[in-house]
Chain A
């Protein structure tokens, strides 16, 4: 790719070493389905699929490999969980920093009688769990929350929220789109009941592969959105109720799973802590420097420790979209401008409707990349 790609919060590039080879290798040398015909190649594919469930268990501390479900992305994962769980009359709580992957399914469910409350975060995107307590009602069923904002990078206090959910007997559903592969995520420690992830952002895998994990209780409560062939229990016209078949009708994205398998092995070998430190080092240098340039407002927390590897900027003397366009045309710097599919978050941060320019780094970026962006900004805006 020509230029400097800084849109890793949308989808990461480059992918982990080995991902492209794994996808191409499967398509070139094997290419067969699992759970259907049985031949050596199909067993190898089944083996890789199962191993990928185990790798996800290892990364997220999920207890049961069979309860890892593959989808095409986290948006699908959240739709399956929310639409399969919530019924008219149920009440759910979210933060005001949620992405539309949560807000749109919930808004459509709200039209059908699901009640929705939002906990307002402050203008840096930070949430106080005591504010969440005030929203709990007798019919509250679940809390759905992003682990970190895709706009400001603010990390939400999920361990506290999980504890609170357990105390009030609420299901806790985690959206880790922005933190998987960046923060150490421990499903058990978070006291979560469900966790939705995507493969193509911080997990450094290909697009089109994501998934979710449900504990046993939710696995039986959530109704499948998609039903069909599973290669199992074929004498019955009813969807099997056991995991993962209950939620995995139809042929899986096997090339995607091969790619994710390779990227997970890379991440586990490299170590989340190493990846995080590299990214934070870059974003820290970026933030430190950008704050010395007049006319640029940094959105979100001041401390890099409270952030993911992204920084959103608001240009006080320019149109953000024009700056983003000029950064690409003149300097080859690729950013994401606008509302980032998160209007609720921009309202909270005070950046609606102008939006921001988001610079999202990868641990594959270098200090030189950061300095190049800073110099470009300093000279021109």
Chain B
């Protein structure tokens, strides 16, 4: 399992949309459950092919807080969705 890089994100007040990739499907399911039980909107999605070669699942979600609040060692990558572009904002250290 990769080690964590603690990242400092600027606190955002606007809603951002992210796609989170996990090392395992179980982690994706767990995170989707967390989002479902929170005030945020989100769901499991089949990961866009350009983000991964695996046919895994990820979670697309809306978030306003600091991402560092939800970083765990189960997360492989986080992309910010900006229009039709995906911008890598976090990746676990190899």
Contact = CB atoms under 8 A, between A and B. Distances in A.
A66 B45 CA distance: 20
Interface residues of B, number: 17
A66 B29 CA distance: 11
Interface string B31-52: 0110000000001111000000
Interface stretch (A20-28, A229-237, A314-322, A328-336): A229-237
Contact of A46 (B23, B24, B44, B46): B44
Contacts of A50: 26, 29-30, 33
Contacts of A235: 53-55
Contacts of A240: 24
B68 to A, nearest CB: 24
Contacts of B54: 232-235
B46 A244 contact: no
Per DSSP, chain A at the interface is loop
Contacts of B75: none
A244 B55 contact: no
B25 interface: yes
A232 B24 contact: yes
Interface string B69-94: 00000000000000000000000000
Max chain A Cβ within 10 angstroms of own Cβ: one of B26, B33, B44, B54: B26
A245 interface: yes
Max chain B Cβ within 10 angstroms of own Cβ: one of A66, A232, A233, A244: A232
A38 interface: yes
Across the A-B interface, give the 10 residue pairs with the lowest CB-CB distance, nearest first: A234-B55, A235-B53, A38-B46, A232-B25, A46-B29, A66-B26, A43-B44, A242-B24, A50-B29, A35-B25
Interface of B: 23-26, 29-30, 32-33, 43-46, 53-57
Interface of A: 35, 37-38, 40, 43, 46-47, 50, 65-66, 230-235, 240, 242-245
17 contacts: A35-B25, A35-B57, A43-B29, A43-B32, A50-B26, A50-B30, A50-B33, A65-B26, A230-B25, A231-B56, A233-B54, A234-B55, A235-B54, A242-B23, A242-B24, A244-B26, A245-B24
